[in-house]
Every structure is written in structure tokens, then in C-alpha cells.
Amino acid sequence: MKICITSTGTNLEATLDSRFGRCQFFIIVETETLDFEVIPNANLEASGGAGVQSGQLMVSKQVKAILTGNIGPNAEQVLSAAGIKIFTGVTGILKDIIENFKQGQYKSASSPSVGSKFGMTT
Amino acid sequence: MIISVASGKGGTGKTTIAVNLALSLDNVQLLDCDVEEPNAAIFIKPLITEEKKAFVLVPLVDESKCTYCGKCREVCAYNAIAVCPKTYDFKGSILIFPNLCHGCGACQMLCPTGAITEIKREIGTIQLGEKEGLQFVQGCLTLGEAMSPPLIRQVKQHIDAAKTVIIDAPPGTSCPVITAVKGSDFCILVTEPTPFGLNDLILAVEVLRELRIPFGVVINRADIGNASVDDYCKTEQIEILMKIPFDPKIAKLYSHGIPMVTELSRYDDQFKQLFLKIKGLI
């Protein structure tokens, strides 16, 4: 299954970035093979619409699930429209997170966990 | 002649300068372009004779014509559109975020199937009024609305070039300020002689130099803080047009919504001098 984890670093030893729209890196992982792609977040400094653009990127990359800390209202709308599952409140090292995910330890969220512009201040 | 009054830092006295300058001159039009919190009217107390709604045009998509090609999303500079393309098990979806849309119209213009039309979204109101010959216009942005530049542009459409036009700009150095001061013949930068005042003055100076608008500085509460603003202006060869002291009389009048020029005649003269100085600089 193709999933995306928001990350503070560029490999699976890195820690999860708790922001979605304004995370530092998106790491797109194939959970079976652990093959991964690193995408630096071009929307990190956007003055507005970072959530929309980051959501759009996930749609283009055809990921099936997002694992992150928090997600704002705009990003949530985009991901939901595309049927991408959202898991918020996730913390820790990426490779552990993938393992936990495969064991079904996370619960999918159906609403945004933070308001607009939250990631600009954290 | 259009004179805008701006400042990097908020609370330095933009409205004080704009209002008092306006009241010291004849044949004036005052535009309150600080649409997020217009307050010049508190001091001018104009009679509002006309109020109209202000709108931005936002896209409306007819999904029966949309092929989810994503062209609109590509051209949107404000990240206000998301498109989920069609796949074998998904019919496709397009999302518009009106709060992010600046109403530039690019999506509608470039949609290859003509699926986008534009609808009006109300963002605030514009009030027109008058007080003893002074023409007054203000924009008032709807509470919670983030899109102030389109409203500022609409306020500025009321500029009467036959008058001395004074624009009370919003604080800061971002899009709303640039929208407000653009097209001015001169800009007064109001500051205070504090480290914060200086820091934000430097940013505002950079903006005006980039916009190539002539400007000068008014130091408000000039006898507090330190000499760093004076020193900076000297080094940068920026004219200090006027200094206003930290005077309890001014503060007391202000707290009652009374402009200093109506009660303290020496300031009336000083604001007239300020205008003459500006005229000499452009």
C-alpha cells in the first residue's frame, strides 16, 4: 500500500513532522517493500493555500493514506474528496510508524484536527 | 495629488496623521484604506450618505462540463483550486476554496471546456460620506475575511483626482499596504523612535524604494525612546518632515475622538507646513 508520512528528515530513521501542509518533507512509502520517495515540501513558505497544494500533491501521487500529526480544514477537504485516508496524532520514527500502521494500530480521522494557518506558527 | 500615510509598525499614528492633515487642508478627500479596522471615521465623524457592498468574483464550476484536466489549478497563483483527476474507479472531483481566491479570473479564462463561470462573493462594504466639505470614503472588510486587497482597490476607485487625496493605509509591508500606497505621488511614513519603530520603518522604506514612491518620515511621540530613527534617516538621507511630541493633551483629545488640529491651533499650522514640505518634494 502506498502511504505518505510527513517527515522532518529524508530517510526512514527520521522523525515525523507534526504539520501536514507545511511539513518539511513528504516521504511516500510502499509499505510492503519499504521503497520510498522523498519530496521536499515546496509549500513550506507559501503565504496561503499550503494545505490545498500539499493535498493536491498527495492526490497526484495517488497515495492511499496520510500519516501525520495535524491536518487543517482545506487539506482535509482535498484528501477526503480523493478518498485518501487520514491518520492524525501520529508521532515517532518513520520506520516504527510504518510497522505500527501495518499492524493496524492507528485510527483514521474524519475531520481536521487543527484550524487554518496552524502550521505557520508551529 | 495623492498622499498616502503608511507605517511598518502598527499603532504609530497613521490615522492621527492622515486625519489631522486632511482637516488642515481645503478641497480634500480622505480614503480610509485600513479596511480591516477603519477608524478615521471616529475622528472625522462624517455623515455617511451612501453604502454599497463590495464583491470579489470567484469561480463556479459546472462539473458536467469539467474534465478534471487541472488547467485551472495550474494557473491559480493562490492555491485556491484542487482537482482530483478521474481514475478507473473514481469519477473525479474539483474543489474551490473561495477564501483563498483573489478573483483574478485566470481559471475562468483558461478553462478549455468553458466549465467555469464567476459568481460574486461579498467581502465587505464601502461607505461614502462628507464632513464640512471633506469627502470621505472607507472600506470595511467583513469580519473573518482575509481578502483585503480587492476591497482596497475598490475603495481607491473612488479617488477624485481634482482633490488632494489622502490615503490612510493599513500597517505592515505586505499586499494590503502595497495595494493602498500604489499610485501615490508621495507617502508619509509614520514611526516612533523605538527599536520596534525603527525596525519596521526600515522594512517600509525598502517597500517604497522598490515601488519608486517618494517618501518622508514623521516621527510621532518624538521625545520618547532614542535617537536611532533620527540617525537612520540621516544616514539614508531620508527627510524627517515633522515631529510630534508625546503630549498628554494630544492623547487626551485622541481618547475622546478629537483630532489635535481642531483644539490646538499650533498643530493646524504644523500640518499645513507638512503639506507644503511634501509639495516641495514632488
pLDDT at residue B201 in the model = 97
pLDDT by residue for chain B (282 residues), tens digit each?
Answer: 999 999 999 999 999 999 999 999 999 999 999 999 999 999 999 999 999 999 999 999 999 999 999 999 999 999 999 998 887 677 788 999 998 998 899 999 999 999 999 999 999 999 999 999 999 999 999 999 988 999 999 999 999 999 999 999 999 999 999 999 999 999 999 999 999 999 999 999 999 999 999 999 999 999 999 999 999 999 999 999 999 999 999 999 999 999 999 999 999 999 999 999 999 998
Contact B95 A81 (CB under 8 A): yes
pLDDT at residue A121 in the model = 66
With CA atoms as reference, report the closest residue to A29 among A83, A66, A60.
Answer: A66
Query: Is A98:A104 a contact under the CB 8 Å cutoff?
Result: no
List the single best residue of A52, A76, A77 to mutate versus B (max B Cβ within 10 A).
A52
Average pLDDT, chain A: 92
pLDDT class for A115, splitting at 50, 70, 90?
confident
Q: Which of B78, B85, B90 sits opposite A49 (nearest CB)?
A: B78
**Spatial CB neighbours of B139, under 8 Å, sequence gap ≥ 6:** B32, B33, B35, B38, B54, B124, B125, B126, B151, B152, B154, B155
- Three-class secondary structure of residue B131 per DSSP: strand
Q: Which residues on chain B are in Cβ contact (under 8 Å) with A48?
A: 78-79, 100, 146
* Summary count for chain A: helices (H), strands (E): 4, 5
Is the model's pLDDT at A119 over the cut of 80?
no
**Nearest residue in chain A measured CA to CA from B83:** A56
Q: CA–CA separation, B221 vs B161, rounded Å?
A: 32
Is the model's pLDDT at A109 over the cut of 90?
no
Distance (Å) from the alpha carbon of A85 to chain B's nearest alpha carbon? 14
Q: Which of A43, A50, A52 sits opposite B82 (nearest CB)?
A: A52
Contact B82 A81 (CB under 8 A): yes
Q: Does A43 touch chain B (CB under 8 A)?
A: yes
Pairing between strand B47-61 and B134-141? unpaired
Query: If you ran DSSP here, which 8-state letter would residue B237 be given?
Result: T
**Spatial CB neighbours of A67, under 8 Å, sequence gap ≥ 6:** A3, A4, A5, A6, A16, A87, A90, A97, A101, A106
- Three-class secondary structure of residue B129 per DSSP: strand
Reported residue count of chain A is: 122
Residue ranges and CATH numbers for the domains of chain B are 2-55+123-281 (3.40.50.300), 63-114 (3.30.70.20)
Distance (Å) from the alpha carbon of A122 to chain B's nearest alpha carbon? 21
Choose the CATH number for A1-31+41-68+94-106 among 3.40.30.10, 3.30.420.130, 3.40.1280.10, 3.40.50.11260. Answer: 3.30.420.130
Q: Which of B78, B82, B90 sits opposite A78 (nearest CB)?
A: B82
Q: Which of B87, B97, B146 sits opposite A52 (nearest CB)?
A: B97
Q: Which of A48, A50, A77 sits opposite B95 (nearest CB)?
A: A77
Q: At what angle do helices A73-81 and A50-60 cross, to 10 degrees?
A: 20
* pLDDT above 90 as % of chain A: 80
Burial class of residue B27 (count of CB atoms within 10 Å of its CB; 0-12, 13-18, 19+): exposed
Q: Which of B80, B87, B93 sits opposite A81 (nearest CB)?
A: B93
Scanning B66-189, the segments in alpha helix (DSSP H) are 71-75, 106-110, 148-156, 175-181
How many other β-carbons are positioned within 10 Å of the β-carbon of residue B270?
19
Query: Is A12:A34 a contact under the CB 8 Å cutoff?
Result: yes
pLDDT class for A92, splitting at 50, 70, 90?
very high
pLDDT at residue B6 in the model = 98
Q: Which residues on chain A are in Cβ contact (under 8 Å) with B100?
A: 48-49, 52, 74
Instruction: Count CA within 13 A, CB hemisphere, residue A111.
Output: 3
**Nearest residue in chain B measured CA to CA from A43:** B79
Pairing between strand B215-220 and B186-191? parallel
Is the model's pLDDT at A122 over the cut of 70?
no
**Domain residue extents for chain A:** 1-31+41-68+94-106
Contact A49 B79 (CB under 8 A): yes
Q: CA–CA separation, B109 vs B116, rounded Å?
A: 8
Q: Which residues on chain A are in Cβ contact (under 8 Å) with B95?
A: 52, 77-78, 81
Distance (Å) from the alpha carbon of B168 to chain A's nearest alpha carbon? 25
Query: Is B23:B261 a contact under the CB 8 Å cutoff?
Result: yes
Q: How many Cβ pairs closer than 8 A exist between chain A and B?
A: 45
With CA atoms as reference, report the closest residue to A69 among A106, A30, A34, A28.
Answer: A106
pLDDT class for A103, splitting at 50, 70, 90?
very high
Contact A48 B78 (CB under 8 A): yes
pLDDT at residue A41 in the model = 95
Each residue's pLDDT tens digit, A40-54: 999 888 888 999 999
Q: Which residues on chain A are in Cβ contact (under 8 Å) with B82?
A: 52, 55-56, 59, 77-78, 81
Q: What is the pTM of this model?
A: 0.83
Each residue's pLDDT tens digit, A5-30: 999 999 999 999 999 999 999 999 99
